[in-house]
Amino acid sequence: MAPRPGGVALSLRRLLLGRPLRSDESGAQRIGVIGALPLLCPDALSSVAYGTQAILVVLASAGTLALWYSLPISAVIGLLLVVLVISYRQVILAYPGGGGAYVVGKETLGPVPSLVAGASLLIDYTLNIAVSAAAGVAAVIAALPMLLAWRVELCVGLVLLMTAVNLRGTRESSLAFGPPTYLFIVMVLVMVAAAMFEGKMFLHPAHPILPAPVVPGLALFVVLRAFSSGSTALTGVEAISNGVPLFKPDSVVRARATMVTLGLLLGVMFLGTSFAAFGYGIVPAAQSTVLQQLAAAIFGRGIFFYLLAFVTMGILLVSANTSFAGFPQLASLMARDGWMPRLFLTKGDRLVYQNGILVIGAAASLLLVIFQGSVIRLIPLFAIGVYIGFTITQVGLIKKHLTERSGQWPTMVAMAGGALLTATVVVVALATKFLEGAWIVALVLPAMVVTFFHIRRHYLAMNQELRLPDADLRPKRQPMVAVVPFSGISRTSQSSLSYALSISENVVAVNVAFSDEQEAQVKEAWAAWAPDPSIRLVVLRSPYRSVTAPVMAYIDRLQGEVGQGQVIVLIPEFVVGRWWQYLLHNQVGLVLQANLVFRKDVVVAMVPFRLSGR
Amino acid sequence: MAPRPGGVALSLRRLLLGRPLRSDESGAQRIGVIGALPLLCPDALSSVAYGTQAILVVLASAGTLALWYSLPISAVIGLLLVVLVISYRQVILAYPGGGGAYVVGKETLGPVPSLVAGASLLIDYTLNIAVSAAAGVAAVIAALPMLLAWRVELCVGLVLLMTAVNLRGTRESSLAFGPPTYLFIVMVLVMVAAAMFEGKMFLHPAHPILPAPVVPGLALFVVLRAFSSGSTALTGVEAISNGVPLFKPDSVVRARATMVTLGLLLGVMFLGTSFAAFGYGIVPAAQSTVLQQLAAAIFGRGIFFYLLAFVTMGILLVSANTSFAGFPQLASLMARDGWMPRLFLTKGDRLVYQNGILVIGAAASLLLVIFQGSVIRLIPLFAIGVYIGFTITQVGLIKKHLTERSGQWPTMVAMAGGALLTATVVVVALATKFLEGAWIVALVLPAMVVTFFHIRRHYLAMNQELRLPDADLRPKRQPMVAVVPFSGISRTSQSSLSYALSISENVVAVNVAFSDEQEAQVKEAWAAWAPDPSIRLVVLRSPYRSVTAPVMAYIDRLQGEVGQGQVIVLIPEFVVGRWWQYLLHNQVGLVLQANLVFRKDVVVAMVPFRLSGR
């Protein structure tokens, strides 16, 4: 069995991940506008599935009359979208290498803003996966209520499935996720068109459009909270600017075209849904979603209704997929700059940053378990990070244009207005939803930034230490003492002592005895065996039945005599045929190993001793 | 920080476990009859807290008239108890070394019956902890219903607490657990006496004692199921015979006296409770326990009622403690015979078999989580194992007496009748509760026996292989090739290559390049560095960006050239100051290590490289 490097595990890996790709196959993984919509835009597009609902849930708490306010709130969010599209077209132009808020912040505003932006985006990628999975499952439950009991399990199952799909690579994901994206766009547009055709837009049966109803007890606070909830509808519009390197050449042109396409589609879909929901008098319900209620109101509970549930689930999965593409990309950028662990730089067999994918998959699953797969409970955490990113990007770009004296005035004004608007959203969201969960983000975000600084300091210090002070420092010989702990005379001690003799002139065999009798026995057996006379026998005494402690103390004494860095300890390691057999051997060797290499700075050699495997 | 071997972890350990004990402090940990009641008997005594209830819950499902059948069922169980006390007094006499069913089976009936008995007891020790914790929490919830929401958490918390207490050692446990045991005995006897005094024994208000009511639809099946549930009242009477070595001398006399004491107490308490419960017309309820209902009926919801709840919890904890004493004892006996992993033989600082305690603590916690801390759901798994153990013990003892022509006829007949009765209980329990959970035991028990055989076969094969074929096989020198994988010229490679030069004449520095440029770069840097000319440079190529695979393949080729067992690989290991910094270094070294030592049979040396710890 020794020469096969993989076996069943390898076959399973192939099945799940596909064949390994050579480094030069990298270029083939690129996309155009059509391919970019399902890969980079669903985060934004799918927000239609919960954006309107997030507004209505908050307003409904102040009475059904308050629902009227969803009209101006949606309009303001639509205005925000226009500004963001203008800003992000500038970002793509200025930063074709991708990286979005982090890269812009880094080049224009310095490390702290860029790290704040980076942390915000990493948090939001994770939240987007959690919210999308939760909203997707909610859509299906609206159609099939008997699945309610399995909500958390379904959410986590979906995330794990997506993790596997993304470990296979982005191009295949893009192909698989095209249909639900386009179907969702078409179905929502059909609903909006039908609502217009039926003349139900804006025209709520009970309220006139103007003037605004004065709702008793409806505080500004509720309206602002509804607005900040609704602002989640725009999460994800930055994804295109982060993913510019994924486009086919000329990538900037294609990315900017995608940005405009997204703006138009998202605007029509979100505003259309909000206005129609008001027109049909829809009140948010616990068991259904606003989108499904709208579909039922327009077309009844027929094929359209059920198909929409599954298509919504589909695009929300694709939305989560946006984050599976964005998180590893950003993490690798930050790792390249030394702010995050280097393991995010490793590309695997399938040319994807597999560690990033695994980390975000695990984090999103954890969030779903903690928040029990509830969209409403996750929403207060969401959006804050995205809008921090929006703000930093726009401020950075304005600064860049000012410094370089580039850029046209109308764009500049739009961006300044945009930055002000998005910063306001952050403040409003923090203020109105702090106790509902926003405090978590307020805590985690600075902690992440501090961690980034610690990581970078560690790497800088390490590089300093690893650098050879002068080229003359070359490998040199020095005498080594080889120590072999053994419990009795057997084939393993014979094998370990053979290796020790082979690598050193100075070999010590160490035994730990718990009593006088044991000590006498070992010395007698040793004398009878009479191995190579150059091997010294040392018997240590241990009243507390510990083997590790006396050996550690002995190594300390030995290092004092011969000098640090001149001791090598050989520890026999049983190699057995089946995994469970490892449980049958005392783990003394492993404990000794870990203690010695990490605490005593001695070289520890593991000497394999293969048992037949029965 | 290097020279301190423990620090905070050690202090915490001291606080939880107490100071380490020397091997010669072992004798002081012994007990008498008074000390044995809280240490070995609470398993049996505490069954009063759920035995009667287990009968009534099943009967109540057939209507309240059926409760009458609790009288004859309890009487039969009382008879069973008499027989078991007689049998186990013989066991103690014949086997003063302890071990109960396992030891008796081993010496009289051979390996398979003894292993079946051993597995049964190990299962039941675990179930006893789970059932006791669940029943204890149920008693407290009967008094304080607001704790219902924390049932599982309370159960698991108690098990973890007990694990910690037992890791401290048995004598201290015995002292701490005395008061609840004696208080429980006294309080139950007071209740039984009060019931007799009030003349309510047997005399249910609605039913006459004779003749038996014919309950419509009450099948024999229900009566048998109620009987098998009630038989859990006798679980634990074998604990004394397993624990004979824990007694002070003369241990056999003390153990036999304890057995009689237990029989009398348990008989009066169990029968008294069952008869009084019938007399007071108690019907089992979901929120309370029969014992608490009885207390309320006799003394009202006063101090007695609340005190009883906590005392019941107390003795049930002590009962669980019986298993914390019994499981490690039995596991160590079986490990000594080679049927279980040797780690169960290790005594720790505090002279207890700590691994057995940790394993049973973890297993019981898992059971409580799976069965949601419900006594009713755990009961069907319980008792089967105990009664298998009873049966094997009695059959074995009869065989021993027959073979040795020892033993008196009246005892022999009692034991034969007992064996028949207990075997019947096993069959009845399996037949009437198979689908409710007994199938799990029916599955796990044979699996354990098969595992025992595998373990023993492995140890026997290993001992065979480790034995030196002749005393002339002594350690001998052989030339070694030292291989040093390196990623670039730095202090780490300088350090690793220094060690390699120090232990071998034949050193190979191995680099993995992903492209032509990388290969050229490495060769150029190497030439410029010009280390010791005896070091060979080998650059391997890896198109799939894997470092492990090409190194493994190279080692294979090298072993083909120089011979198996003559290659040592030196891998640098970063030693950093804080745990999280280990996450910042690529784990390539660890992966390589595991692959090499376990798959290629090469010696792997970890070369520590200490970073300053910033």
What integer pLDDT is reported at residue A307 of this predicted model?
Answer: 92
**A585 touching chain B per CB within 8 A:** yes
pLDDT class of B67 with cuts at 50, 70, 90: confident
Q: What is the CB neighbour count within 10 angstroms for residue B377?
A: 14
> What does DSSP say about strands A535-541 and B535-541: parallel, antiparallel, or unpaired?
unpaired
**B467 touching chain A per CB within 8 A:** yes
**Number of inter-chain CB pairs under 8 A, A vs B:** 220
- Summarize pLDDT for A380-392 with one digit per residue, the tens: 888 888 899 899 9
**A583 touching chain B per CB within 8 A:** yes
Kindly determine whether residue B575 and residue A556, on different chains, have CB atoms separated by under 8 Å: no
Q: How close does chain A come to B136, measured CA to CA in Å?
A: 30
Tell me the two tokens of residue A265.
């589609």
What integer pLDDT is reported at residue B165 of this predicted model?
Answer: 81
Looking at the predicted structure, is the pLDDT value of residue A579 above 80? no
Looking at the predicted structure, is the pLDDT value of residue B99 above 60? no
Q: Containing H/E element for A506?
A: strand A506-513
- Summarize pLDDT for B334-345 with one digit per residue, the tens: 999 999 998 888
- Summarize pLDDT for A466-493 with one digit per residue, the tens: 877 666 678 888 889 999 998 888 888 8
Q: What is the CB neighbour count within 10 angstroms for residue A300?
A: 10
Of B22, B593, B606, the CB nearest to A544: B22
Whole-number Å distance between alpha carbons of A250 and A234: 26
Nearest CA in chain A to B587: A343
* Burial per residue of B547-564, b for 16 or more beta-carbon CB atoms within 10 angstroms, e otherwise: bbbbbbebbbebbeeeee
Whole-number Å distance between alpha carbons of A544 and B559: 43
pLDDT class of A184 with cuts at 50, 70, 90: very high
Question: What is the CB-side half-sphere exposure of residue A87 using CA atoms within 13 A?
Answer: 32
Looking at the predicted structure, is the pLDDT value of residue A613 above 60? no
Whole-number Å distance between alpha carbons of A461 and A467: 10
pLDDT class of B6 with cuts at 50, 70, 90: very low
What integer pLDDT is reported at residue B4 of this predicted model?
Answer: 40
> What does DSSP say about strands B535-541 and A603-610: parallel, antiparallel, or unpaired?
unpaired
Of B501, B584, B600, the CB nearest to A475: B501
Whole-number Å distance between alpha carbons of A72 and A59: 12
Kindly tell me the burial class for residue B303, based on how many C-beta atoms sit within 10 Å of its own C-beta (0-12, 13-18, 19 or more): exposed
**B583 touching chain A per CB within 8 A:** yes
Query: Please, are residues B35 and B174 in contact by the beta-carbon 8 Å criterion?
Result: yes
Q: Can you spell out the DSSP letters for B79-111?
A: HHHHHHHHHHHHHHHH-TT--HHHHHHHHHT-H
Whole-number Å distance between alpha carbons of A234 and A87: 14
Q: Report chain A residues whose CB lies below 8 A from the CB of B492.
A: 466
Looking at the predicted structure, is the pLDDT value of residue B25 above 90? no
Looking at the predicted structure, is the pLDDT value of residue A285 above 60? yes
Please give the biggest Cα pair distance in chain B.
107
Kindly report the pTM of this predicted structure: 0.68
Kindly tell me the burial class for residue B444, based on how many C-beta atoms sit within 10 Å of its own C-beta (0-12, 13-18, 19 or more): middle
Q: Which of A333, A338, A349 is nearest to A457 (CA)?
A: A338
Better pLDDT: B278 or A583: B278
Q: In the predicted model, what is the mean pLDDT of residues B347-357?
A: 76
Portion of chain B with pLDDT greater than 90, in percent: 33
Q: Containing H/E element for A227?
A: helix A220-230
Q: Containing H/E element for B508?
A: strand B506-513
Kindly determine whether residue B475 and residue A491, on different chains, have CB atoms separated by under 8 Å: no
What integer pLDDT is reported at residue B18 of this predicted model?
Answer: 54
Of A23, A494, A543, the CB nearest to B514: A23
What integer pLDDT is reported at residue A25 of this predicted model?
Answer: 47
Looking at the predicted structure, is the pLDDT value of residue A159 above 90? yes
Of B347, B601, B603, the CB nearest to A610: B601
Distance of CA A535 to the CA centre of its chain: 54
A140: Cβ contacts below 8 Å, ≥ 6 apart: A147, A154, A309, A310, A313
Cis omega (within 30 of 0) for bond into A250: yes
Please give the biggest Cα pair distance in chain A.
107
**Mutation for A interface: B19, B466, B516, most A CBs within 10 A:** B466
Whole-number Å distance between alpha carbons of A44 and A239: 8
Give first-to-last CA distance, chain A, whole Å. Answer: 13
Question: What is the CB-side half-sphere exposure of residue B553 using CA atoms within 13 A?
Answer: 12
Q: Report chain A residues whose CB lies below 8 A from the CB of B17.
A: none
* Residues present in chain A in total: 614
Within 9-28 of A, beta carbons closer than 8 Å to B belong to 20-23
Of A23, A458, A466, the CB nearest to B584: A458
Q: How close does chain B come to A86, measured CA to CA in Å?
A: 39
Of A494, A504, A587, the CB nearest to B473: A494
Q: Report chain A residues whose CB lies below 8 A from the CB of B497.
A: 475
* Residues present in chain B in total: 614
Better pLDDT: B450 or B1: B450
**A549 touching chain B per CB within 8 A:** yes
What integer pLDDT is reported at residue B5 of this predicted model?
Answer: 40
Whole-number Å distance between alpha carbons of A503 and A481: 9
Looking at the predicted structure, is the pLDDT value of residue A1 above 50? no
Q: In the predicted model, what is the mean pLDDT of residues B324-335?
A: 88
Whole-number Å distance between alpha carbons of B113 and B103: 10
Kindly determine whether residue A544 and residue B20, on different chains, have CB atoms separated by under 8 Å: yes
Nearest CA in chain B to A600: B2
Whole-number Å distance between alpha carbons of B411 and B164: 42
What integer pLDDT is reported at residue B376 of this predicted model?
Answer: 83
**A150 touching chain B per CB within 8 A:** no
Cis omega (within 30 of 0) for bond into B485: no
Query: Please, are residues B292 and B141 in contact by the beta-carbon 8 Å criterion?
Result: no
Q: Report chain A residues whose CB lies below 8 A from the CB of B462.
A: 574, 611
Whole-number Å distance between alpha carbons of A586 and A574: 10
Q: Can you spell out the DSSP letters for A418-460?
A: HHHHHHHHHHHHHHHHIIIIIHHHHHHHHHHHHHHHHHHHHHH
Q: Report chain B residues whose CB lies below 8 A from the CB of A612.
A: 461, 465
Q: In the predicted model, what is the mean pLDDT of residues A540-544?
A: 82
Q: How close does chain A come to B563, measured CA to CA in Å?
A: 14
Kindly determine whether residue B475 and residue A497, on different chains, have CB atoms separated by under 8 Å: yes
Q: Report chain A residues whose CB lies below 8 A from the CB of B498.
A: 475-478
Query: Please, are residues A522 and A496 in contact by the beta-carbon 8 Å criterion?
Result: no
- Mean of the per-residue pLDDT values of chain B: 84
Q: Report chain B residues whose CB lies below 8 A from the CB of A468.
A: 489-491, 494
Looking at the predicted structure, is the pLDDT value of residue B570 above 80? yes
Beta bridge partners of B570: B605
- Summarize pLDDT for B398-421 with one digit per residue, the tens: 998 888 877 778 888 888 988 999
Q: How close does chain A come to B28, measured CA to CA in Å?
A: 16
Q: Report chain A residues whose CB lies below 8 A from the CB of B528.
A: 471
Identity at B164, one-letter amino acid code: A
What integer pLDDT is reported at residue A350 of this predicted model?
Answer: 63
Better pLDDT: A411 or A258: A258
Token pair 């980034």 in the structure block, residue: A452
**Mutation for B interface: A337, A460, A470, A477, most B CBs within 10 A:** A477
Cis omega (within 30 of 0) for bond into B250: yes
Of B2, B20, B474, the CB nearest to A599: B2
Looking at the predicted structure, is the pLDDT value of residue B2 above 50? no
Query: Please, are residues A259 and A280 in contact by the beta-carbon 8 Å criterion?
Result: no
Within 322-341 of A, beta carbons closer than 8 Å to B belong to 341
- Mean of the per-residue pLDDT values of chain A: 84
Q: What's chain A's Rg over C-alpha atoms? A: 32
**Mutation for B interface: A346, A448, A606, most B CBs within 10 A:** A606
Poorest-confidence range of A225-239, A324-338, A593-607? A593-607
Q: Report chain B residues whose CB lies below 8 A from the CB of A576.
A: 458
3-state secondary structure B561-606: HHCCCCEEEEEEEEECCCHHHHHHCCCHHHHHHHHHHHHHCCEEEE
**B614 touching chain A per CB within 8 A:** yes
Query: Please, are residues B368 and B425 in contact by the beta-carbon 8 Å criterion?
Result: no
3-state secondary structure B159-197: HHHHHHHHHCCHHHHHHHHHHHHHHHHHHHHHHHHHHHH
Kindly determine whether residue B342 and residue A515, on different chains, have CB atoms separated by under 8 Å: no
**A216 touching chain B per CB within 8 A:** no
Q: Report chain B residues whose CB lies below 8 A from the CB of A26.
A: none
Of A475, A528, A606, the CB nearest to B531: A475
Of A347, A465, A474, the CB nearest to B532: A474
